[in-house]
């Protein structure tokens, strides 16, 4: 493999390594990058003239982020990744107002960073952010990891801290126009965040098609567009559908009486999104190539997370082909336009 890389694949190898590392480092939530550090060290040891300086800088960014996070400070509540501008993909430029508690944490982290790196300034990209959230409603508790945009939207429906300002009988409501003004958020991002909370039955558009939203404090408030104007009217069909869906989900996850061993193809299909992303990057960046060459890249870059035979990988590619994601001709594989 060293001979092949030295003669033909240096630049392609370095570019693919950079792309894979970018995706892995940005995707992971933990500030633990031991596997990536070993990967870079292995390539530097085996191919001393391979230009992977960009990968080393990306790792240094992650190491510095971990160092700042581990300092004794309240900012540890915020886990931030500080990226050198010139060495990472162009971030999502969408901006919006963060909830006060999140805004305070980002400012505290910024001050902490300034004390360590006085010559550098931070530019926050909130659209990349995520947070764990817990909502206590009258008949249920919602806990989930959500995006910073989704958290900002639901925070707009929080009850006031001042008990005298709270309304006893009505759930907080906001119009689409109010949310857009209060959050200074892009319309598409705002609508997608609202759609998330609607799908989780945390918010409800009421009256229907009014662009006015309220907290669905209790599932007994579920209403259909054909129900009466009384906002407390119970839609039995809606509640029944929710219960049926939950029962179906319980049945779906129930263990089989005779569990079957997973095949290599089963495991690859479970990680299809990641593996297809890897295949797509290779074919997009380097053009059509044979399965054997893609397999070589995969075993080199993914190491222990790709412990499969080449025959299994080819079968995985055939599955992608049946889905219309890739295509093959004359032993060469290529990406389908638009995927």
For residue 304, the model assigns a pLDDT of 65
What are 73's two structure tokens? 């400070």
How many CB atoms are located within 10 Å of the residue 180 CB? 16
Between CA 69 and CA 9 the distance in angstroms is 38
Q: Which segments of 118-186 does DSSP mark as H helices, in order?
A: 148-155, 176-183
Pick the closest to residue 113 from 103, 105, 121, 124 (CA basis). 121
Most confident range (mean pLDDT) of 93-102, 192-201, 259-268 is: 192-201
For residue 314, the model assigns a pLDDT of 92
For residue 31, the model assigns a pLDDT of 64
Between CA 249 and CA 241 the distance in angstroms is 12
Distances (CA, A) of 260 to 187, 244, 269: 47, 28, 16
Regarding predicted confidence, which is higher, 262 or 134? 134
Across the chain, mean pLDDT equals 76
| H/E element, 274 | helix 272-286
Helix (H, G, I), strand (E, B) or coil at 131: strand
Between CA 257 and CA 6 the distance in angstroms is 53
Percent of the chain residues past pLDDT 90, beyond the cut: 24
Q: Are strands 173-175 and 130-136 parallel, antiparallel or unpaired?
A: unpaired
Between CA 250 and CA 219 the distance in angstroms is 20
For residue 272, the model assigns a pLDDT of 86
Between CA 314 and CA 320 the distance in angstroms is 10
How many CB atoms are located within 10 Å of the residue 133 CB? 14
Task: Quickly tell me which residue has 């230009």 as its tokens.
Answer: 51
Sheet of strand 203-205, all strands in order from the earlier edge strand to the far edge: 173-175, 212-215, 203-205
For residue 49, the model assigns a pLDDT of 64
What are 195's two structure tokens? 């759609």
Task: Quickly tell me which residue has 């089963």 as its tokens.
Answer: 266
Look at phi and psi of residue 287 and say left if phi exceeds 0, alpha if psi is from -120 to 50, else beta.
Answer: left
Between CA 322 and CA 103 the distance in angstroms is 47
pLDDT in tens, 152-177: 999 999 866 544 544 445 678 999 99
Domains belonging to the chain, first-starting first, are 2-116 (no CATH), 129-159+170-238 (1.10.10.10), 269-335 (1.10.10.10)
Of the pLDDT bands very low, low, confident and very high (cuts 50, 70, 90), residue 313 is very high
pTM of the model: 0.59
């Amino acid at each position: 493999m060293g001979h092949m890389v030295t003669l033909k694949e240096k630049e392609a190898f370095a570019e693919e390594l950079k792309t894979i590392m970018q995706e892995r480092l940005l995707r992971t939530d933990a500030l633990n990058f031991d596997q990536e550090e070993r990967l870079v060290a292995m390539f530097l040891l085996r191919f001393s003239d391979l230009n992977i300086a960009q990968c080393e800088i990306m790792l240094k960014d992650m190491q510095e982020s971990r160092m700042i996070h581990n300092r004794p400070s309240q900012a540890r509540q915020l886990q931030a990744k500080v990226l050198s501008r010139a060495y990472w993909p162009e971030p999502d430029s969408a901006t919006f107002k963060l909830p006060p508690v999140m805004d305070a944490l980002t400012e505290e982290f910024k001050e902490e960073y300034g004390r360590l790196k006085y010559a550098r300034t931070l530019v926050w990209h909130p659209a990349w952010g995520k947070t764990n959230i817990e909502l206590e409603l009258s008949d249920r508790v919602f806990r989930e990891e959500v995006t910073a945009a989704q958290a900002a939207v639901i925070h707009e429906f929080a009850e006031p801290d001042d008990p005298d300002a709270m309304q006893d009988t009505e759930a907080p409501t906001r119009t689409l126009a109010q949310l857009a003004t209060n959050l200074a958020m892009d319309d598409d991002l705002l609508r997608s965040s609202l759609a998330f909370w609607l799908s989780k039955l945390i918010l409800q558009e009421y009256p229907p098609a009014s662009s006015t939203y309220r907290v669905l404090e209790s599932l007994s408030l579920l209403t259909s567009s054909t129900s009466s104007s009384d906002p407390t009217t119970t839609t039995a069909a809606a509640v029944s559908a929710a219960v049926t869906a939950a029962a179906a989900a319980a049945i779906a996850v129930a263990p089989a009486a005779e569990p079957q061993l997973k095949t290599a193809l089963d495991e690859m299909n479970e990680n299809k999104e990641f593996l297809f992303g890897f295949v797509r990057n290779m074919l997009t960046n380097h053009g059509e190539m044979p399965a054997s060459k893609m397999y070589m890249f995969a075993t080199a870059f993914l190491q222990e997370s790709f412990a499969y035979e080449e025959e299994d990988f080819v079968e995985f590619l055939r599955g992608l082909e049946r889905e219309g994601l890739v295509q093959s001709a004359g032993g060469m594989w290529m990406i389908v336009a638009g995927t």
